[in-house]
């Protein structure tokens, strides 16, 4: 791997490099993907889309709760004014 050009690293996680033949190597702890440049771009787009969907707030299950808030005074105040 001495002849590879490292294009990205993340300490204690992995690295992405390109070999002289143009193949992109995605090296993670226990996984290595070897991709052509065009497949690497597609893979990157796929991961970007997945990250957007992963980051979205999760829907809460069940019915939403509705709370009515009013600025009217209590019934005790109404009886004092009559």
Per-residue pLDDT of the chain (82 residues; tens, 9 = 90+): 679 999 999 999 999 999 999 999 999 999 999 999 999 999 999 999 999 888 666 666 777 677 788 887 665 555 555 5
Is this prediction's pTM over 0.85?
no
State residue 57's pLDDT score: 67
Adjacent-strand bridge partners of 17 = 6, 25
CA dist 79 and 65 (Å) reads 32
Q: Classify the C-alpha dihedral 40-46-48-54 as positive or negative.
A: negative
State residue 25's pLDDT score: 97
CA dist 27 and 16 (Å) reads 6
């Amino acid at each position: 791997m001495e002849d590879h050009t490292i294009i990205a690293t993340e300490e204690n996680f992995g690295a992405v490099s390109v070999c002289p033949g143009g193949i992109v190597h995605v090296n993670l702890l226990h996984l290595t993907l070897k991709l052509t440049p065009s497949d690497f771009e597609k893979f990157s787009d796929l991961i970007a889309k997945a990250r957007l969907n992963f980051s979205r707030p999760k829907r809460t299950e069940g019915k939403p709760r509705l709370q009515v808030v009013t600025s009217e005074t209590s019934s005790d105040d109404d009886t004092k004014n009559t």
